[in-house]
Amino acid sequence: MEPSDSFDVLCKFAEFYYLQRSLTQEEISTLRDFYDKRLRPTQKQHAHSEKLLQAIKEASDRAGQHLLESVQAASSLDELRPAALPSPPYTDNQLVVAQIADRLANLVQTEVGKCFEKNFGALRQQLQNALSSLDGAHSAIPHPASTVQAAEAPSPALA
């Protein structure tokens, strides 16, 4: 934000939120003096802010690159999950990678389950029904062993 932009914002704030009317020329002049003496960032402060923002951006880029390298080096999600972390203390990147891997693994598992159910759910249900029918039919057929035992048992009427 340029210094003139921040002064304009200050004026708008005073007009709309504080005074609820337009500023007079005298008020604008007084506000300008106050802004110039107390609020306007110096060139040194502006340069320091720019350096700080650049350092933050570079650190963020390095962290992102490190995360990408960690993920690319892994041959499976299990290598990235929390259980695969070395003993504490953990680095922030290790924890982030582990959390991302754990979440991705859960998402993949859920998605595979949905796809399986969508593509093979009806077939699975048909197979379960067929197996249940076979079990029911199998239990209704007399087994040869129980038929032989019934034939060998003396009839109560003959005894």
Confidence of residue 24 (pLDDT cuts 50, 70, 90): very high
Give the pLDDT score at 23: 92
The whole domain housing 105 covers 76-141
Give the pLDDT score at 93: 67
Note whether residue 147 is domain-resident: no
Number of domains in the chain: 2
Q: Which residues contact 99 (CB under 8 A, 6 or more apart)?
A: 82
User: Is the domain of 41 the same as that of 83?
Assistant: no
Note whether residue 102 is domain-resident: yes
Note whether residue 81 is domain-resident: yes
User: Is the domain of 50 the same as that of 96?
Assistant: no
Bond prior to 144 in cis (omega within 30° of 0):
no
Structure-block tokens of residue 67:
């995360």
Note whether residue 150 is domain-resident: no
